[in-house]
RNA sequence: GUGGGCGUAGCUCAGUUGGUUAGAGUCCCGGAUUGUGAUUCCGGAUGUCGGGGGUUCGAGUCCCCUCGCUCACCCCA
């Protein structure tokens, strides 16, 4: 019989158990921080009705959507009725509109699930990936103060992930649009186009952006472009510096002043939330490509690994669910692309080898003593230690090799001597030492050892 | 969706101006006398040379087509 090649589609990340443990450790850190800040969990279906998912989308989104069709509909040649979600924000909008009358506002939710995009595979880009989202949705209005709570949450996440120094960079869409208005770029679509272009500043460089803006596609004057470039190059080094640089921009349109006031409030509150000044900064080139953002926008980068780019981004939007309800539902939120983040951290060598979730292996010296081994394993499990017992007899060396490869830290040997003495021999494969303890003290001893070296599993 | 690069063991690759039975390292499996892994030594398994066609006495190598992967753009986590 011809064999089928075992393979997965490009753009998916499938991990071996030890890597999966590291990845899940990362998600646990994200989740616990989201919960610590008082966000509530929800999950939504992977599939949604296509018309619900694609309401506001232009051609770009639709191009990246996977449609889903039942066999029956496929045979009849119908248009697909269902599609896979491509982010968690659109399903959130649908969720809030659908359950509006049962929800408590401001609605603070977090959601950690996979999303799907039909992209051509590329380094660090996935077709199936995890997003970790937090959003706050208000009914009719939502204070700009929430715009500061989001970065505070994000600070907690990346601090606990311990992946090195990072900076949460902030900007405000109103401030940008107001600045462009002052230069005579009044049309909304045109403002968006300029905005998307300056967003590339950090990636493409000053000259490239200048060339594009003065070029035929935009046709802006050299003076206007110089003013834009001066604006988007603003970066801050501390809170006082940020406020000073905002003042130094001079006065502007009503939109501009509104944006500036929002930014001032947000920056001040981020500090009040306890985020160190070294970890947040003004970056007036941050724009975000998505057009639904209206005010504050965020991007987070690792200081020592700028090539990785943004590892977490989001912002403020008015009218989240305008396509589904007449209610006004403003919100602010952010998303961590966990799959890409994990993949890039691994590429950069920032993730060490995880230890197994299995903490102890009970070896088998003598098949006849199997009940003794199983009783020992049960004892340890009852003491909260994840334990595996060797079920098939083999050479002890082979059993050690198995434990080593599996990343199991403690190997327990129970032979005639130990049984006679009421002891257990423990080999700690991580510390590379061996000791013998009374069986009655075993669980306590292992617990103490394990707690000593407790970590997130993501540390290098 | 648009443009460039690359396809040889599971992985990283070598393979001369076309010339016998296609190699190395790594990984995997087994062994090196009594109850100890990761080091060392010995042995073993593994390939429609991406696929199809053409040129030739002879193609991994040259030509054409095709498929796959990958990088950049677009967009984005």
pLDDT bracket for residue A36 (50, 70, 90): very high
pLDDT confidence of residue A184: 84
Which nucleotide in the DNA or RNA is closest to residue A397, CA to C1'? B36
**Any idea which of A58-67, A219-228, A300-309, A449-458 has the lowest mean pLDDT?**
A449-458
> Could you tell me which of A119, A138, A106 has the C-alpha nearest to residue A337?
A119
Q: Final residue of a domain: which of A284, A303, A322?
A: A303
Which nucleotide in the DNA or RNA is closest to residue A400, CA to C1'? B37
Burial annotation A410-431 (CB, 10 A radius, 16+ → b, else e):
bbbbbeeebeeeebbbbbebee
pLDDT bracket for residue A460 (50, 70, 90): very low
Omega cis (within 30) before A353:
no
Please state whether beta strands A280-282 and A166-172 pair in parallel, antiparallel, or not at all (unpaired): parallel
CA atoms of A196 and A217, how far apart (whole Å) = 13
Q: What is the enclosing helix (H) or strand (E) of A176?
A: helix A173-182
Find and list the nucleotides of strand B having atoms within 7 Å of a protein beta carbon.
1-2, 28, 30-31, 35-38, 48, 68-77
pLDDT confidence of residue A59: 52
Tell me the CA–C1' distance in angstroms for A76 and B25.
55
**A282 and A371 both lie in a single domain:** no
**A291 and A416 both lie in a single domain:** no
**A287 and A180 both lie in a single domain:** yes
Dihedrals φ, ψ of A146, to 5°? -65, -25
Q: Final residue of a domain: which of A277, A303, A329?
A: A303
**A380 and A297 both lie in a single domain:** no
Which nucleotide in the DNA or RNA is closest to residue A64, CA to C1'? B75
SS3 A152: helix
pLDDT tens across A150-175, in order? 999 999 999 999 888 999 999 999 99
A87 found inside a domain: no
Q: Final residue of a domain: which of A283, A303, A323?
A: A303
Tell me the CA–C1' distance in angstroms for A3 and B31.
32
pLDDT confidence of residue A317: 92
Tell me the CA–C1' distance in angstroms for A5 and B19.
34
Strands (E), A147-264: 166-172
A2 found inside a domain: no
A259 found inside a domain: yes
A122 found inside a domain: no
A448 found inside a domain: yes
Tell me the CA–C1' distance in angstroms for A15 and B48.
30
Does the pLDDT of residue A422 top 50, yes or no?
yes
Quote the percentage of chain A above a pLDDT of 90.
57
Mean pLDDT of A110-138: 88
**A374 and A290 both lie in a single domain:** no
Which nucleotide in the DNA or RNA is closest to residue A398, CA to C1'? B37
Which nucleotide in the DNA or RNA is closest to residue A395, CA to C1'? B35
Tell me the CA–C1' distance in angstroms for A401 and B15.
37
Does the pLDDT of residue A122 top 90, yes or no?
no
**Alpha-carbon distance values, A161 to A59, A154, A298 (Å):** 37, 11, 19
The residue range of the domain holding A434 is: 360-452
Tell me the CA–C1' distance in angstroms for A122 and B71.
8
A320 found inside a domain: no
Which nucleotide in the DNA or RNA is closest to residue A335, CA to C1'? B77
**A395 and A295 both lie in a single domain:** no
Q: Using CB atoms within 10 A of its CB, is residue A5 exposed (0-12), middle (13-18) or buried (19+)?
A: exposed
Tell me the CA–C1' distance in angstroms for A326 and B36.
71
pLDDT tens across A8-32, in order? 777 888 888 888 899 999 999 999 9
Mean pLDDT of A345-359: 81
pLDDT tens across A50-62, in order? 888 887 555 556 6
Helices A188-198/A206-214 angle, 10° precision = 150
**A418 and A291 both lie in a single domain:** no
Overall domain count for chain A: 2
| CATH number for the domain that contains residue A220 | 3.30.930.10
**A213 and A290 both lie in a single domain:** yes
A391 found inside a domain: yes
A192 found inside a domain: yes
- Helices in A59-136 by DSSP H: which ranges? 59-63, 71-76, 89-98
pLDDT confidence of residue A383: 96
Q: Using CB atoms within 10 A of its CB, is residue A75 exposed (0-12), middle (13-18) or buried (19+)?
A: exposed
| CATH number for the domain that contains residue A421 | 3.40.50.800
Which nucleotide in the DNA or RNA is closest to residue A341, CA to C1'? B77
Burial annotation A223-261 (CB, 10 A radius, 16+ → b, else e):
ebbebbbebbebbbeebeebbeebeebeebbebbebbbe
Tell me the CA–C1' distance in angstroms for A3 and B23.
27
pLDDT tens across A386-396, in order? 999 999 888 99
Tell me the CA–C1' distance in angstroms for A297 and B2.
31
pLDDT confidence of residue A453: 63
Q: Using CB atoms within 10 A of its CB, is residue A297 exposed (0-12), middle (13-18) or buried (19+)?
A: buried
Which nucleotide in the DNA or RNA is closest to residue A415, CA to C1'? B35
**A277 and A364 both lie in a single domain:** no
Residue A311 contacts residue A341 (beta carbons within 8 Å): yes
Q: Which residue has the higher pLDDT, A76 or A194?
A: A194
Q: What is the CA radius of gyration of chain A?
A: 27
Complex ipTM, two decimals? 0.81
Tell me the CA–C1' distance in angstroms for A8 and B3.
27
């Amino acid at each position: 019989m011809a064999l089928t090649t075992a393979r997965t589609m490009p753009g998916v990340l499938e991990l071996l158990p030890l890597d999966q443990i590291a990845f899940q450790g990362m998600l646990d850190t994200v989740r616990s921080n989201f919960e610590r800040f008082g966000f509530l969990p929800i999950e939504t279906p992977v599939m949604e009705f296509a018309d619900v998912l694609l309401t506001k989308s232009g051609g770009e989104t639709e191009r990246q959507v996977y449609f889903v069709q039942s066999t029956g509909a496929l045979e009849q040649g119908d248009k697909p009725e269902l599609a896979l979600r491509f982010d968690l924000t659109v399903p959130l909008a649908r969720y809030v509109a659908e359950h509006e009358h049962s929800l408590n506002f401001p609605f603070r939710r977090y959601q950690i699930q996979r999303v799907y995009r039909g992209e051509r595979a590329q380094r660090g880009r996935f077709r199936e990936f995890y997003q970790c989202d937090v959003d706050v949705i208000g009914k009719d209005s939502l204070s700009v103060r929430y715009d500061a709570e989001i970065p505070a949450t994000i600070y907690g996440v990346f601090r606990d992930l311990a992946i090195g120094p990072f900076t949460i960079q902030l900007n405000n869409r109103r401030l940008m649009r107001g600045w462009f208005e002052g230069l005579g770029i009044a049309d909304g679509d045109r403002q968006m186009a300029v905005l998307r272009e300056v967003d590339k500043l950090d990636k493409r460089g000053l000259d490239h952006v200048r060339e594009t803006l003065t070029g035929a596609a935009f046709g802006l004057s050299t003076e206007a472009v110089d003013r834009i470039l001066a604006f988007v190059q603003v970066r801050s080094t501390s809170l006082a510096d940020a406020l000073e640089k905002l003042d130094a921009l001079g006065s502007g349109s009503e939109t501009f002043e509104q944006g500036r006031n929002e930014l001032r409030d947000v920056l001040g509150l981020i500090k009040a939330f306890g985020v160190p000044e070294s970890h947040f900064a003004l970056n007036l080139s941050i724009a975000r490509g998505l057009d639904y953002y209206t005010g504050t926008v965020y991007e987070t980068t690792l200081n020592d690994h700028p090539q990785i780019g943004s590892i977490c981004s989001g912002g403020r939007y008015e009218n989240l669910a305008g396509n589904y309800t007449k209610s006004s539902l403003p919100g602010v939120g952010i998303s961590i692309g966990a799959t890409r983040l994990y993949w890039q951290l691994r590429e950069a060598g920032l993730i060490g080898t995880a230890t197994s979730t299995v903490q102890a292996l009970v070896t088998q010296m003598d098949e006849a003593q199997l009940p003794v081994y199983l009783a020992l394993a049960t004892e340890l499990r009852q003491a909260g230690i994840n334990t595996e017992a060797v079920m098939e007899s083999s050479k002890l060396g082979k059993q050690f090799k198995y434990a080593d490869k599996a990343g199991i830290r403690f190997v327990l040997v129970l032979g005639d001597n130990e049984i006679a003495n009421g002891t257990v021999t423990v080999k700690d494969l991580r510390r590379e030492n061996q000791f013998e303890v009374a069986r009655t003290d075993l669980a306590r001893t292992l617990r103490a050892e394990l707690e000593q070296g407790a970590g997130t599993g993501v540390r290098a």
